[in-house]
Structure 1
Amino acid sequence: MDVSLVHQLCQNLISSAIQRCRMSDHLCRLSVFLKLSPPSDPPLVRISVSDTGVGSCLEEFQCLKYAMDPESAEKWDGVISLTTTGINDSDIYYYHLNLKEIVSTRRLTKLPSSSKNGTTFSGTEVSFSVFGSVDGLLVKLTYFLNKVLILRIPNVAIEMLVEESDDISGSRCKTLVPANDCFPLTSAASNVERLKSGLEDYVFKHGNNLNDICHSCFSSGVHLKVGSGAACTKRRRSTGQVMEAIIIISELSKPTTSSCFRACDVKTEVLYFKDFSPSSISQSSLNGLTSIDWKSYGLILRSIADHDGYALLEWENLPPYAHIDIVMKPEGMQKSHLDRTLIRKAVKLALNDLKEKNTGALLSTNALKICSYAPDLARTIGGLILSSNDLDFQGECLSLLGLQCQEIKGETTEDCIKRKIISAIEMNDRKPQRNREAAPFLFEDDYFQEPDVLDEEYEEDEQAFSSFDL
């Protein structure tokens, strides 16, 4: 069995099932089921993708393509069994679809239907059988479905089960992807909030086939630094387009076990979703990621590559046991010439959001360099204060530092000054380059309101959008 070709076919079938579920007004279940025959040479595997969404319109399968490999011709006859019914149908309909048939009008064969006997339900099941090992396919499908779960698609529960049979103990069924809790359509959570929640779960499981949080790495969510952003554009002749981005930085306090290798990987696979299914990323989108000034967020991008249709970012300077996860999802009418601008905008908003919410996170390369001088500068200033014989001068300095006279100690004073210096550097670093102050206040007690940086950047990019003929 050619795992890549079968996996691609399964992806297409799952994506179609997702769309049918999204069109339904009811709770839906999407099941991927693999049944392994008793030991044989070669082993026979039956693959089924079923859903309880609206019935199939059949046209979606007429355009289904499968690149037949001459070497795999003996492992699969290219025939798919299709069962479907709509909520208002009185019958269940059966078809055979032959993907080897070149003439499209001959691909679909209708079989005798059966009555629903007055029951009301809808759904579709697509199944086929192939010969070959299933191990590689299980890994790929599990990973694919765990990606889909990031979306938290409302009213859809997704599961994957495998049944193994042998001549001695009979059949054994195991769950690789458990049915997730449905998110009701009436939920007040926004798309970005659902995407953020889904990516957090994905990170906790390291994106692999673990069913639960990896307790050897995460005891709680305190290790996650999360940022989100949504860029949009709308014009009179366009329905608009939105690009949502979520970025999570996970930092572990100690080395992890071998099963958690992904948590410390210096590479980031950018997860890109289109039509509620994992999708390859366009060259325009790759260009948008490349155009980001990553150094302004303290990140050095070593390389960016197209890996089997997915963007793979490799970093030079990640801290030990740290990992970055990025997910992006477009909404609305797709305009490929806007991908670069919208992705760049959405990712920058997510980076700024993460930076704003987490003190000391994503400081620019220049700010990190300046911070490295803070201990020496604090030691010098502290020494000047403590060596003075002018008690009024010392008292005024301590007051500015927020310290009491009884706290006048070398280390206490130095630590306080260092925190003030670093805090001022971080505050200034959060502003865009054009608004940064040459010498921000180090000892200002009152918090001052910073300008809305994100709104300013948004207005600039919105002006840039006006150059496009939408």
Structure 2
Amino acid sequence: MEVSSVQNLCKHLIFCAIQRCRMSDELCRISIVLKLCPEFNPPLVRISVSDTGVGCNLKEFEALRYATNPISASKFDGVITITTTGISDNEIHTFSLNINETISSGRLTKLSSISKCGAKFSGTEAVLSTAESLNDLQSDISLFLHKMSMVKLPTVAVELLVDSLGVRGSQLQSCVLAVDCSPLPSSATNIERLKSGLEEYVLKHGNRLENFCQLCFSTAEHLKVGTGMAKRSGTSQSKRQMMEAVVVISETSEPAFPACCRPSGKRTEVFFFKDFTPCSIPQPSLDALTSIKWKDYGLTLKRITDQDDIALLEWENLPPNFHIDIALHSYHKEYPFAGNRQADKTFTRKALKLALDELKETNDKALLSSHALKICNYAPDLAKTIAGLVLSSCDINFKKECFSVLGLQCQKLEASGLENCIKDKILSAIGSNDRKAQRTREPAAILFQNECFQLDFQDEDYEDGEEMFSSLKL
């Protein structure tokens, strides 16, 4: 793997720490410490990434390369000090790794070892020094951890410690993934945790507010959510790979305060996670986004852009104050440290389509197809016409049956109430038919059919449709 900056190297070290914690059966902690060393000229920042997971497998670093250039070479010498021990090891081992070294034999050097004196523990620490700006590193890593908190690892706590004055604890920022505003049971699945994390991100308008925005959302129940999951088939390793997708739709009033405004505006943010770590969306998954038949969900995709490792979808016809957020997560149930895996186009598309279909199925009037939306435009006029026919009829029995179907009482009926009720029935029928999957779509049922009333054309009073309408005295 090749990294092009110290920031990307730090993210890779955090990624490796997460996987070591995933392989542990115990509660784990990951600590990222940034310490300013002003005694050097130029001042250096010491970066430490440590974890209490299983011991480090040095093969993790065998393929690591640093893409040096004149600017980066002056800020980082490519040397990483690795200290590690396994639960069954009697010693703590230290190595020096130079990821700028092209000759394999010169990359890794074994340093001193320290006896554990019979203690039983495991963990790894990777340390490097750079002349990068402390503020830039802190901002970049903070944003990375903010995104990572969305997957809500249940047994891993992550903290960021910043020492800007050479005294530890002078500035502290902490991000604990196992504790959040909406705690989940230990039995919660990964997709349930991803769903909860994306909901919280939306309720905070995508920024790092401590609390949900009560001006726009009182509870998460105001959000429309769909989830989908696909298993990758093929080789034995691929069978362990899963793809999860979560789609959240929110609709708010016009933002009253700057804090309520989303940095992305009305564009949809698509977050991609690989093995519980945020990363840039791979090209196959990006292609999957463009292959979705968005018109089946009433949307027209205008363009896709990439910003800060987040894909942004821009729509042509998104309703006012209507926002869509998407999270995709590709992970392995058992993490193999070798290989560079990416979810393919079909794999991602399947999970995302399942999430969109579930959201559409469980929320009335949400994500109606472009065709259904066109039909809905005729509903008000059609409802007005039908209401006029019913109210103008002199046939009392006919009126009573119409009122019964609509769940209304004749004596309390107003023209506007009847019209709105008929319109809602029409829209409900259109939505119900549109939500059926294309492969199983059947003709729509009788528009006003319900459990307590079915219009039977075999009835002696209404032998057929023609007799029914001829009985109206208009």
Q: TM-score range by the shorter chain?
A: 0.7 to 0.9
Q: Aligned-pair distance for 1:361? A: 0.7
Q: Which moved more, 1:132-141 or 1:207-216?
A: 207-216
Cα separation, partners in 2 of 1:375 and 1:229, compared to 1, 3 Å: same
Alignment partners' CA distance in 1, 2:100 and 2:20: 25
Q: Residue 363 of structure 1 is aligned with which of 365, 368, 378?
A: 368
Indicate if the aligned counterparts of 1:269 and 1:326 stay in contact, CA closer than 8 A: yes
- Offset, 1:310: 4.9
Q: Distance in 2 between matches of 1:428 and 1:250?
A: 24
Query: CA distance change for structure 1 residues 390 and 171 in 2, over 3 Å: closer, same or farther?
Result: closer
Q: Cα 1:23–1:425, aligned 2, differ >3 Å: closer, same or farther?
A: same
Letter in 1 for 2:172: K
Which residues in structure 2 correspond to 1:403-422 (within 5 Å)?
A: 403-422=408-427
Amino acid aligned to 2:431: E
- In structure 2, what is the equivalent of residue 453 of structure 1? none
Distance of aligned partners of 1:249 and 1:400 in 2 relative to their CA distance in 1, 3 Å threshold: same
> Is it true that 1:350 corresponds to 2:348 in the alignment?
no
Mean alpha-carbon deviation: is it higher for 216-225 or for 340-349?
216-225
1:357-416 CA-partner distances (Å, limit 9, x unpaired)? 211111111211211221121111111111222222222211121111222211111111
Alpha carbons 2:82, 2:97 under 8 Å: kept = yes
Partner of 1:465: none
Q: SS at the partner of 1:165?
A: coil
Distance verdict in 2 for CA 1:332–1:206, change over 3 Å: same
How far does the alpha carbon of each residue in 1:116-166 deviate from its partner, in whole angstroms, 9 at most, with x for none? 233221111111121232333323222222222222224211222222217
3-state SS of 2:143 partner: helix
Partner of 1:328: 328
- Give how far 1:184 is off: 12
Verify the 8 A CA contact 1:227 1:248 in the aligned structure 2. Answer: yes
C-alpha distance in 1 between matches for 2:61 and 2:342: 30
What are the residue-to-residue correspondences of 1:299-338 with 2, within 5 Å? Answer: 299-305=299-305, 310-331=310-331
Question: Judging changes above 3 Å, is the alpha-carbon distance between structure 1 residues 417 and 56 closer, same or farther for their aligned structure 2 residues?
Answer: same
CA distance in 1, matches of 2:76, 2:340: 39
Matched, 1:142 2:147: no
| 1:380 counterpart letter in structure 2 | T
Q: For residues 226-237 of structure 1, what are the structure 2 equivalents within 5 Å?
A: 226-232=225-231, 234=233
Superposed displacement of residue 10, structure 1: 0.6
Q: State how 1:191-202 maps to structure 2 within 5 Å.
A: 191-202=190-201
Aligned sequence identity (%): 54
Question: d(CA) in 1 for partners of 2:35 and 2:341?
Answer: 41
Q: Does the Cα contact within 8 Å between 2:161 and 2:171 map onto a contact in 1?
A: yes
Residue of 413, 421, 429 corresponding to 1:424: 429
Distance 2:349 2:340 in 1: 15
Q: Secondary structure at the match of 2:398?
A: helix
Task: State the distance in 2 between where 1:112 and 1:362 align.
Answer: 62
Unmatched 5+ stretches in structure 2:
334-338, 454-474
Give the direction of change, closer, same or farther, for the CA distance of 1:243–1:46 in structure 2 (3 Å limit).
same
Residue 259 to residue 34, structure 1, CA distance change in 2 (3 Å): farther
For 1:173, the aligned partner's letter is Q
How do 1:104-183 and structure 2 match up within 5 A? 104-165=104-165, 172-178=170-176, 180-181=178-179
Question: Residue 98 of structure 1 corresponds to which residue in structure 2?
Answer: 98
- The answer on whether the counterparts of 1:93 and 1:111 sit within 8 Å (CA) in structure 2 is yes
Alpha-carbon separation, structure 1, partners of 2:208 and 2:287: 31
Q: Are the equivalent residues in 1 in contact too, given 2:300–2:315 (CA < 8 A)?
A: yes
Cα deviation for residue 429 of structure 1 reads 0.8
Alignment match, 1:339 = 344
Give 2:468's aligned residue: none
Distance 1:135 1:236 in 2: 45
Distance of 2:370 and 2:65 partners within structure 1: 48
- Structure 1 residue aligned with 2:20: 20
Instruction: Find the counterpart in structure 2 of residue 393 from structure 1.
Output: 398
* 1:335, distance to aligned residue in structure 2 (A): 11
CA-atom RMSD in angstroms = 3.2
Partner of 2:336: none
| Residues 418 and 65 (structure 1), Cα distance of their counterparts in 2 relative to 1, 3 Å cut | same
Contact 1:155 1:185 in 2 (8 A): no
In structure 2, do the counterparts of structure 1 residues 200 and 374 end up closer, same or farther at CA, with 3 Å as the change threshold? Answer: same
Distance apart, 1:27 and its partner CA: 0.7
Provide closer, same or farther for how the CA distance between residues 358 and 85 of structure 1 changes in structure 2, counting only shifts above 3 A.
same
Deviations 1:402-449 (A, max 9, x none): 11122221111111111111111110110134554555322112299x
Instruction: Report the Cα offset of residue 62 of structure 1.
Output: 2.9
Q: TM-score, normalised by structure 2?
A: 0.84
Q: Distance in 1 between matches of 2:121 and 2:249?
A: 44
Q: Deviations over 1:64-89 (max 9, x none)?
A: 22212212333222222221111122
SS at match of 1:213: coil
Q: Greater CA radius of gyration, 1 or 2? A: 2
Q: CA deviation at 1:277?
A: 2.1
> Is 1:44–2:49 an aligned residue pair?
no
Give the distance between the partners of 1:277 and 1:426, measured in 2 at CA: 38
Displacement, 1:213? 3.1
Shift of 1:263: 6.9
Q: How many residues align?
A: 444
SS in 2 for 1:60: helix
**371-380 vs 72-81, greater mean Cα deviation:** 72-81
**Secondary structure in 1 matching 2:164:** strand
Contact 1:243 1:329 in 2 (8 A): yes
Q: Distance between the aligned counterparts of 1:236 and 1:41, measured in 2?
A: 53
Q: TM-score, normalised by structure 1?
A: 0.85
SS at match of 2:65: coil
CA 447–128 in structure 1, closer or farther in 2 if over 3 Å, else same: farther
Equivalent residues of 2:151, 2:276 under 8 A apart: yes
Query: In structure 2, what residue type is equivalent to 1:221?
Result: A
What do the CA deviations read for 1:297-346 (whole angstroms, capped 9, x no partner)? 01111113455765432212222233222122234599989822222221
Q: Distance in 2 between matches of 1:189 and 1:173?
A: 34
Distance between the aligned counterparts of 2:292 and 2:380, measured in 1?
31
- Distance between the aligned counterparts of 2:46 and 2:216, measured in 1? 37
Q: 1:318 to 1:4 in 2, by over 3 A?
A: farther
Q: Given that residues 162 and 169 in structure 2 are in contact (C-alpha distance below 8 angstroms), is that contact kept between their aligned partners in structure 1?
A: no
Partner of 1:190: 189
